[in-house]
Structure 1
């Protein structure tokens, strides 16, 4: 395999000459940051902890757990990596079944959705880039969904989540 002579890396953001001790370790046994009847969410790396570079979350969904309906993001991409189980993923065109080791990347503006329709739990990693303060979204989405209406729509938009159903005729 040949490599081009001029590789383009991002501009340096660290300007020291010796490096720093600044890594963060999260042991596997750390309890979830958020638990609900349908599953749990582990905040592995938040926008705050990565300086806005990315957000990485481990999501565990119980059997037959619904997920978000079709939506897109204007500021962030979202990636899905299935750790265990089967997950139905909507790639903007059709539903596909993701299994352990499968990966789906959704660029900014890409329509997507997901749900667990299986009788078994599913575990996956969610990666948002660049990082965004998603924690409030995960912590309050169930409550806000119960409220519904314009309040839910404003909450979603505040968190860069544009749901197709919010903009369909007759849903105002």
Structure 2
């Protein structure tokens, strides 16, 4: 396979000559950012820790977890990578079963949804790009869903989540 002489890369954002010591390590045993009887969310790389480049979260859904109904985002893409178990993923047209190693990329504006319809727990990575401060969304979504109404709608919009059902 041949490659072109000039490959289009993004413009440099680091202009130093020697590199920097600035990596961030997160041990596997770091507690989840949010835990509930239905699952947990681990804040692996947040808007704050990546300077807004991306957000990476590990979500664990318990058996028969509702997940999120059909929605879209106006400011960010969302990607799903199934680590274990099975997850029903809606790609805007149809539901597909995601299993360990399966990946779904949803561009900005793309309709999507997910749920665990099995009797087993599952885990996945969710990547948002660019990064947004999603931690409050994960921390408060259950509480806001119970409140419902206009308060829930405003909360969702503030977090770039536009639900269609």
TM-score under structure 1 normalisation?
0.95
> Secondary structure, in 3 states, of the residue corresponding to 1:70?
strand
The reply on whether 1:14 has 2:14 as its aligned counterpart is yes
Aligned to 1:168: none
> Secondary structure, in 3 states, of the residue corresponding to 1:29?
coil
The reply on whether 1:34 has 2:38 as its aligned counterpart is no
2 CA distance for matches of 1:73 and 1:4?
35
> Secondary structure, in 3 states, of the residue corresponding to 2:40?
strand
How far 1:85 sits from its partner (Å)? 0.1
Counterpart mapping for 1:49-64 below 5 A: 49-64=49-64
| Per-residue CA distance 1:50-105 (angstroms, 9 max, x = gap) | 01000000000111111110000000000000000000000000000000000000
How far 1:30 sits from its partner (Å)? 1.3
2 CA distance for matches of 1:58 and 1:126?
6
Q: 4+ residue runs of structure 1 moved beyond 2 angstroms?
A: none
The reply on whether 1:106 has 2:106 as its aligned counterpart is yes
2 CA distance for matches of 1:29 and 1:52?
24
How far 1:49 sits from its partner (Å)? 0.3
TM-score under structure 2 normalisation?
0.99
Aligned to 1:138: 138
Once structures 1 and 2 are overlaid, which stretch shifts more, 27-36 or 54-63? 27-36
> Secondary structure, in 3 states, of the residue corresponding to 1:23?
coil
> Secondary structure, in 3 states, of the residue corresponding to 2:53?
coil
Aligned to 1:170: none
The reply on whether 1:66 has 2:66 as its aligned counterpart is yes
1 CA distance for matches of 2:3 and 2:72?
35
2 CA distance for matches of 1:33 and 1:74?
25
| Per-residue CA distance 1:31-58 (angstroms, 9 max, x = gap) | 1111011000100000110010000000
The reply on whether 1:159 has 2:128 as its aligned counterpart is no
How far 1:133 sits from its partner (Å)? 0.4
